[in-house]
């Protein structure tokens, strides 16, 4: 789209509920920039689904679009239903790491395995932000959170690799310090048929940062930048050197048939076989 980007064009004009400096602003902005650069001009052809949590408030009711809030963790099954019944719509899920990689993890894996034609944007702030910064499956090893005052003792899940190995057509990870790459990934996900997943490691200064020992948002963003390693480089490094690092880049890019295409094909074959 040649017209200059204005975020207001895609918003209802309501005030987002996020804390100052929250990474959710960056994720919303990068997503809408990507939409704009693809030439959409509005969100009329989109439906947004989200569960519960801070990140789940990114689209609804702030985006000027149709959107659905589901119970915590259940946005992907609802999005799957929307897509199967209205295949002409772009169906996009926004959610937190707790929503999508905690309580909703099995839905994430199975949607990737089925290659459902939905786009999932997971904001990984490394805790359950909205409920007070409890440890999450994504919390880095040995981090102080509100429920691990002596540091966390479990290893975090690698959601993007899990989704890539389950069969997603597109999977990428960036941080909020990689706004340009994030926007480009949004464009790629919107243009790639099938299940597309983008994880964004994001700052939550209120519920994560201050307990984990960060003085301010700038320090968190610096940490993201300094700790990020491109996937291609990471693949040549021994696992012990990757401890505590954020591996960024694209992890899957395929063209496998989508769930809807497989269903249609099966119907054609069944009609022929049983006619």
98: contact with ligand SF4 by CB under 6 A: no
> What are the start-end ranges of the H helices in 17-169?
23-37, 75-85, 97-98, 105-114, 159-166
Among 121, 118, 107, 28, which residue's Cα sits nearest to residue 71?
A: 107
Task: Name the minimum Å distance from CB 54 to ligand SF4.
Answer: 3
Residues in 98-117 that interact with Mg ion by CB under 5 A: 98
99: contact with ligand TPP by CB under 6 A: yes
Crossing angle of helices 75-85 and 105-114, rounded to 10°: 30
98: contact with ligand TPP by CB under 6 A: yes
> Which residue, 194 or 224, has its beta carbon nearer to ligand TPP?
224
* Gap between the Cα atoms of 173 and 185, Å rounded: 9
Q: Select from ligand SF4, Mg ion, ligand TPP, none the partner in contact with residue 19, using the beta carbon and a kind-dependent cut-off of 5 to 8 Å.
A: ligand SF4
CB neighbours (10 Å) of residue 90? 19
Q: Say how many Å lie between the first and final Cα of the chain, rounded.
A: 48
> Which residue, 18 or 62, has its beta carbon nearer to ligand SF4?
18
Q: Select from Mg ion, ligand TPP, ligand SF4, none the partner in contact with residue 205, using the beta carbon and a kind-dependent cut-off of 5 to 8 Å.
A: ligand SF4
Torsion of CA 209, 127, 253, 94, to 10 degrees: -100
> Which residue, 52 or 105, has its beta carbon nearer to ligand SF4?
52
Among 136, 166, 220, 246, indicate the residue that binds ligand TPP (CB under 6 A): 136
> Which residue, 36 or 72, has its beta carbon nearer to ligand TPP?
72
Q: Which stretch binds Mg ion (CB under 5 A): 34-42, 86-94, 102-110, 128-136?
A: 128-136
> Which residue, 123 or 259, has its beta carbon nearer to ligand TPP?
123
Total count of residues recorded for the chain: 275
Q: Select from Mg ion, ligand TPP, ligand SF4, none the partner in contact with residue 52, using the beta carbon and a kind-dependent cut-off of 5 to 8 Å.
A: ligand TPP
> Which residue, 129 or 156, has its beta carbon nearer to Mg ion?
129
Q: Which two tokens stand for residue 122?
A: 């997971």
User: 79 and 56 in contact (C-beta within 8 Å)?
Assistant: no
* Gap between the Cα atoms of 77 and 118, Å rounded: 10
108: contact with ligand TPP by CB under 6 A: no
Q: Which two tokens stand for residue 170?
A: 């597109």
User: 91 and 118 in contact (C-beta within 8 Å)?
Assistant: yes
Q: Select from ligand SF4, ligand TPP, Mg ion, none the partner in contact with residue 99, using the beta carbon and a kind-dependent cut-off of 5 to 8 Å.
A: ligand TPP
> Which residue, 104 or 205, has its beta carbon nearer to ligand SF4?
205
52: contact with ligand TPP by CB under 6 A: yes
* Gap between the Cα atoms of 270 and 49, Å rounded: 33
Q: Is 123 exposed, middle or buried (0-12, 13-18, 19+ CB in 10 A)?
A: buried
Residue ranges in contact with ligand SF4 by CB under 6 A? 18-19, 22, 24, 54, 125, 129-130, 204-207
Residue ranges in contact with ligand TPP by CB under 6 A? 52-55, 71-72, 96-99, 123, 125, 127-131, 136
């Amino acid at each position: 789209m040649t017209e200059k980007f204005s975020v207001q064009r895609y918003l209802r004009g309501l005030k987002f509920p996020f804390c100052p400096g929250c990474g959710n602003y960056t994720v919303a902005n990068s997503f809408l920039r990507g939409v704009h650069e693809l030439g959409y001009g509005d969100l009329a052809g989109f439906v947004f689904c989200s569960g519960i949590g801070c990140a789940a408030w990114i689209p609804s009711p702030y985006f000027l679009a149709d959107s659905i809030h589901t119970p915590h963790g259940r946005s992907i099954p609802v999005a799957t239903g929307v897509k199967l019944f209205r295949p002409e719509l772009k169906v996009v899920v926004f959610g937190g790491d707790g929503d999508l990689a905690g309580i909703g993890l099995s839905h994430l894996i199975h949607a990737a395995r089925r290659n459902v034609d939905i786009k999932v944007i997971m904001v990984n702030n490394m805790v359950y932000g909205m409920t007070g910064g409890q440890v999450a499956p994504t919390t880095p090893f040995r981090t102080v959170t509100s429920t691990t005052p002596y540091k966390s003792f479990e290893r975090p899940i690698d959601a993007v690799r899990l989704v890539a190995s389950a069969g997603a057509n597109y999977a990428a990870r960036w941080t909020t310090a990689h706004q340009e790459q994030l926007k480009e990934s949004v464009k790629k996900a919107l243009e790639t048929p099938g299940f597309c997943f983008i994880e964004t490691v994001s700052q939550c200064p209120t519920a994560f940062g201050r307990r984990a020992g960060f003085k301010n948002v700038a320090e968190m963003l610096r940490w993201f930048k300094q700790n990020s390693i491109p996937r291609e480089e990471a693949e040549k490094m021994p696992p012990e050197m990757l401890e505590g690092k954020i591996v960024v880049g694209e992890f899957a890019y395929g063209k496998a048939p989508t769930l809807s295409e497989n269903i249609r094909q099966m119907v054609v074959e069944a009609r022929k076989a049983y006619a």
